[in-house]
Amino acid sequence: MLTREFLLKADCKTSFGDIEDALLWSCEQRAASLAATLACRPDDSPVWIFGYGSLMWNPIFEAEEVAAATLEGWHRAFCLRLIAGRGTSSHPGRMLALREGGNTSGLAFRLPEERLHEELELLWKREMVTGCYLPTWCELLLDDGRSVTALVFIMDPRHPLYESDACAGTIAPLIARASGPLGTNAQYLFSLEQELEKRGMADENLTTLAHQVRQLQSCHNTLLG
Closest CA to 94 of 110, 81, 105, 103: 81
Are the beta carbons of 119 and 60 closer than 8 angstroms? Answer: no
User: Is the distance from CB of 70 to CB of 136 less than 8 angstroms?
Assistant: no
Measured from the Cβ of residue 151, the count of other Cβ atoms closer than 10 Å reads 20
> Which positions are annotated as active-site residues?
127
| Cβ atoms 162, 156 nearer than 8 A | yes
Neighbours of 98 (CB within 10 A): 26
Which residues are 142's β-sheet partners? 69
Classify 129 as helix, strand or coil.
coil
